[in-house]
Structure 1
């Protein structure tokens, strides 16, 4: 990968990592489900008027919208509102690789090899450390919601793998369009009619998550994937929790304990080991966890 493209991939991971801090800011001004619904509304319109037809069957868009738009982001934002710190949320979401293996085995009949099982066992050990560290002083329900968001992302990844959309940005715009209505209806049913006061902080938060993180991020992601294969580009997304934890520490003062650092190393290295192929196997066709092009990026 050329240096400027490498820097672009790292910059994209930084944008998606910092997104967790931005979402934390947005939750100060909006109820979580309403915030998610507004994010996807802005990401879909007016972009929907210019991207053209999705290029895949509608059932795949509905499936990803339900799993990722409503499931992942709904659970994630409710969990963050309930007390899950933004940096730790960025780390726990990486355990979606565990759920990809489970759903791929159940729904697609894939059989994970020894390398994948080993890597996922390491990542699960990291998740157990996070549970131990956070559970000793933080709200357990918020942690469970974040793990549920990772599971929903894993399911969405498997559905999207089956759909194989030709254009990730166009696909994300349509997923956003189908995610917004149920999120807004859920917000009205669960959170009631909102009593909002105008604040530039909340407005800029929505602008960032809708246009910079979602549309801009997936635009860059698709641009890189048109120039390099997924196995070259996707490992850079494992930098997301690095930027998520560091930006949360700098902006919100979230503490980073040694136990959390060890857990992060286990989760990221385990997911990377499980998702990459050994050199001898790279000539054979094999699905990979890490290079999956997924709509569930933050």
Structure 2
């Protein structure tokens, strides 16, 4: 019964996070990108902090290491990741953005091997990382005669988002901290939102006053802040404890399916064959990089069935 429950929650999380990319594209019709991302985490951060106060013993970081973890989370996992993602997604489809972000688990392994001497990357693992990067190039389809086209720049920005998230995930592991993940996420969201507000003000993003009353704009913001972020992370915390990091990473490879289908239905976005090929290369790269962990999960699943 637990397996069926976990499967249902896994699919629900993939649906929430996949359709979040569609909500981003819809909201970007009305809000400037960095401000839109900041507003999302203004709301989500407060909700997560209230949940942390309710659910865990320590709702506030203590000591230098715990605040350092929150700082890394605020700068890389929230601010840099979402600023790059929202700016880039102005000029590409929701599905392409979701697929490029799915490179994060592969990049996480690459950064971990580079920054943590104990995690030496094998030759086969290097092949997996390189295959994932080739997938990015296939999706971006750079034209040598026009390397700075809007579409290519947009996809490179989303690649930077995935790299920021991966680097942030690795750096948080370097600190000796027992800070509950709920507390870390809540304070990182609040800090990241503040940073993005500063950036938005610094670059003087223009905003159409009608956005504050437009149903699509407000609906996209509410969906991202409450459904995709607050509810999505609650599902993530639950599944992380039940499934572990390897299985939960597979959400990144199911979410693009929901992004593609809903993006087509709601936004009329069409995903070309080249994007699917790039997705396949990224997915194969993930399997190669995580081959040992995936093998262990399959063995565990086989024992459970027996």
The TM tier, using the shorter chain, reads 0.7 to 0.9
SS at match of 2:262: helix
Q: Deviations over 1:242-297 (max 9, x none)?
A: 22222222222222222221111111221133124167878xxxxxxxxxxxxxxx
**Which residue of 2 is the match for residue 60 of structure 1?**
69
Instruction: Give the drift of 1:107.
Output: 2.5
Q: Quote the Cα distance in structure 1 between the aligned partners of 2:199 and 2:248.
A: 35
Higher deviation after alignment, 198-207 or 41-50: 41-50
**Which residue of 1 is the match for residue 41 of structure 2?**
40
Q: Quote the Cα distance in structure 2 between the aligned partners of 1:280 and 1:42.
A: 40
* TM-score normalized with structure 2 length: 0.83
Q: Runs of 5+ in structure 1 lacking a partner?
A: 283-298
Instruction: Give the drift of 1:150.
Output: 1.4
Asked if residue 179 in structure 1 is aligned to residue 179 in structure 2, the reply is no
Asked if residue 266 in structure 1 is aligned to residue 274 in structure 2, the reply is no
Question: Any conservation in 2 of the 1:97–1:120 contact (CA below 8 Å)?
Answer: no
Q: Quote the Cα distance in structure 1 between the aligned partners of 2:84 and 2:138.
A: 21
Question: Any conservation in 2 of the 1:131–1:143 contact (CA below 8 Å)?
Answer: yes
Q: Quote the Cα distance in structure 1 between the aligned partners of 2:155 and 2:80.
A: 15
Structure with the higher helix share, 1 or 2: 2
SS at match of 1:277: helix
Residues 1-298 of structure 1 mapped to structure 2, 5 A cutoff: 2-51=3-52, 52-54=59-61, 57-81=66-90, 83-109=91-117, 110-132=119-141, 139-163=151-175, 167-192=180-205, 194-197=207-210, 198-277=213-292
Higher deviation after alignment, 111-120 or 65-74: 111-120
Instruction: Give the drift of 1:23.
Output: 0.6
Q: Quote the Cα distance in structure 1 between the aligned partners of 2:291 and 2:140.
A: 26
SS at match of 1:111: coil
Question: Any conservation in 1 of the 2:108–2:169 contact (CA below 8 Å)?
Answer: yes
Higher Cα Rg: structure 1 or 2?
2
1:101/1:229 Cα in 2 relative to 1: closer, same or farther (>3 Å)? closer
Q: RMSD of aligned C-alpha atoms?
A: 2.5
Question: Any conservation in 2 of the 1:40–1:210 contact (CA below 8 Å)?
Answer: yes
1:247/1:115 Cα in 2 relative to 1: closer, same or farther (>3 Å)? farther
Q: Quote the Cα distance in structure 2 between the aligned partners of 1:272 and 1:230.
A: 14
Higher deviation after alignment, 261-270 or 70-79: 261-270
Q: Deviations over 1:211-270 (max 9, x none)?
A: 111111111111122223333333233212222222222222222222221111111221
* TM-score normalized with structure 1 length: 0.85
1:95/1:280 Cα in 2 relative to 1: closer, same or farther (>3 Å)? closer
SS at match of 2:242: coil
**Which residue of 2 is the match for residue 287 of structure 1?**
none
Instruction: Give the drift of 1:18.
Output: 0.6
Question: Any conservation in 2 of the 1:98–1:124 contact (CA below 8 Å)?
Answer: no
Instruction: Give the drift of 1:13.
Output: 0.6
Instruction: Give the drift of 1:98.
Output: 4.3
Question: Any conservation in 2 of the 1:133–1:259 contact (CA below 8 Å)?
Answer: no
